[in-house]
Copies of this chain bind each other. A is one copy, B any other.
């Protein structure tokens, strides 16, 4: 664990194993704020939003929250009325254990889609996790939300706002079923800053768009994607509103924090050996820039070629051509690292050996200039490997 990690004031957390995961690993996380929080949430756009997504969305209507309860190992998705009842019960159990209102509890679940939650185990687990709450428990909580992740994903930073230090801490999980147009699988961002609900929503939306919505592992948007922002005001700064210098600092910090977590998700994509950064410039619109970046980042053929360190750059061009974005195929340029691949409609590769060496690095940058505008976008992804197939052919056993 990073020794420089910073915790915002007024939050306590814990993570325990309550028996949902067959592995016996931690699978229940609880985060509680001493003071009521201003809260914002961003959720999956999948039509089968899981029970915890539906309930948390409802609980967030007034933008107030006190606690987050999250389990891994079972997504409680596609579980109908029973699933909704189970999520409501989870929130009630937590409200009782930490003495707050039920609608101040946000619930998140991640894991296999379909099965019902083992409510007896969760009931016992909530009691236990509530007893273990402490200021340093955020790391355990971050561990308790992971599934096929190989690493715990956290990020923190602090900064001065009008003479006061405010601190941010974020945790995220996600390695498969990861795709833009959503929050991510699960990410919780905590801060002790005092901030108004409109300012938190605005900054949160902006940070989401430039971070979690720019990550893809396999093109599948999960039923459970949940991104929560909680701000408890314990730092004592004067309240940040949606305009002015303090807001700009706050938003930019949130973007940094979320990008760090999003990058960690792409880097830890199921079976990944490479982080691939696809940046697009010169687009007519940001939407077009994203379409192109996403088409390249979701192409199985591009991703397997990078895994095999095969300088088969034609697949990048093919993916760009499938993106549906508007551009002139005779004008665009494509680079991998510093190597020019394609310009003026024709191949420009000078040395496949140099391309192969670029692909030996942990991070492989692809840059596409559409040369027809000023808009840009960046999408992070990972390569597609034997281990991705292995993990997903046999996820549940």
Residue numbers of A with Cβ under 8 A of B are: 46-49, 75, 77-83, 112-116, 176-177, 179, 218-223, 298-301, 304-305, 307-308, 310, 312-315, 317-323, 327, 329, 342, 344-347, 349, 384-386, 388-390, 392-397
Q: CA separation between A386 and B392, bound complex, in Å? A: 11
A230 CB to nearest B CB, Å: 27
**Which residue of B115, B318, B389 is within 8 Å of A48 (Cβ)?**
B318
A391 CB to nearest B CB, Å: 8
Residues of B within 8 A of A318 (CB): 46, 48, 77, 113, 177, 220-223
| Listed residue (A219, A329, A392) with the most chain B CB atoms within 10 angstroms of its CB | A392
Instruction: Give the nearest-CB partner of A311 in chain B.
Output: B396
A277 CB to nearest B CB, Å: 20
In the complex the two chains form, is A312's CB within 8 Å of B395's CB? yes
In the complex the two chains form, is A78's CB within 8 Å of B327's CB? no
In the complex the two chains form, is A392's CB within 8 Å of B78's CB? no
In the A-B complex, the 4 residue pairs with the smallest Cβ-Cβ separation, listed nearest first, are A113-B314, A308-B393, A80-B346, A304-B392
In the complex the two chains form, is A220's CB within 8 Å of B48's CB? no
Q: A47-B329, A83-B346 are in contact. List 12 more A-B contacts (CB 8 A).
A: A47-B322, A78-B346, A112-B314, A113-B312, A114-B314, A177-B318, A220-B299, A222-B318, A300-B300, A307-B393, A310-B397, A312-B395
In the complex the two chains form, is A347's CB within 8 Å of B314's CB? no
Known contacts A322-B220, A392-B304; A346/B79 CB under 8 A: yes
Instruction: Give the nearest-CB partner of A342 in chain B.
Output: B78
In the complex the two chains form, is B344's CB within 8 Å of A80's CB? yes
In the complex the two chains form, is A82's CB within 8 Å of B114's CB? no
Residues of B within 8 A of A304 (CB): 388-389, 392-393
25 A-B contacts (beta carbon < 8 Å): A46-B322, A47-B323, A48-B318, A75-B314, A80-B344, A80-B345, A80-B346, A81-B345, A81-B346, A83-B346, A113-B312, A113-B318, A114-B313, A116-B347, A176-B301, A177-B301, A177-B318, A220-B322, A300-B384, A300-B388, A304-B388, A305-B392, A305-B393, A307-B389, A310-B394
In the complex the two chains form, is A392's CB within 8 Å of B223's CB? no
Q: CA separation between A389 and B306, bound complex, in Å? A: 11
Q: CA separation between A319 and B46, bound complex, in Å? A: 8
In the complex the two chains form, is B218's CB within 8 Å of A320's CB? no
Residues of B within 8 A of A389 (CB): 304, 307, 384-386, 388-389
Residues of B within 8 A of A327 (CB): 47
In the complex the two chains form, is B223's CB within 8 Å of A321's CB? yes
A118 CB to nearest B CB, Å: 15
Q: CA separation between A77 and B304, bound complex, in Å? A: 20
Residues of B within 8 A of A222 (CB): 318
Known contacts A310-B395, A389-B304; A317/B223 CB under 8 A: yes
Q: CA separation between A121 and B300, bound complex, in Å? A: 32
Q: CA separation between A48 and B329, bound complex, in Å? A: 6
Q: CA separation between A140 and B391, bound complex, in Å? A: 41
In the complex the two chains form, is B77's CB within 8 Å of A314's CB? yes
A66 CB to nearest B CB, Å: 30
Residues of B within 8 A of A393 (CB): 304-305, 307-308, 310, 385
In the complex the two chains form, is A347's CB within 8 Å of B47's CB? no
In the complex the two chains form, is B113's CB within 8 Å of A317's CB? yes
Instruction: Give the nearest-CB partner of A352 in chain B.
Output: B396
Instruction: Give the nearest-CB partner of A330 in chain B.
Output: B80
Residues of B within 8 A of A116 (CB): 347
Residues of B within 8 A of A223 (CB): 314, 317-318, 321
Q: CA separation between A385 and B221, bound complex, in Å? A: 21
Q: CA separation between A46 and B325, bound complex, in Å? A: 11
Residues of B within 8 A of A219 (CB): 219, 298-300
A42 CB to nearest B CB, Å: 16
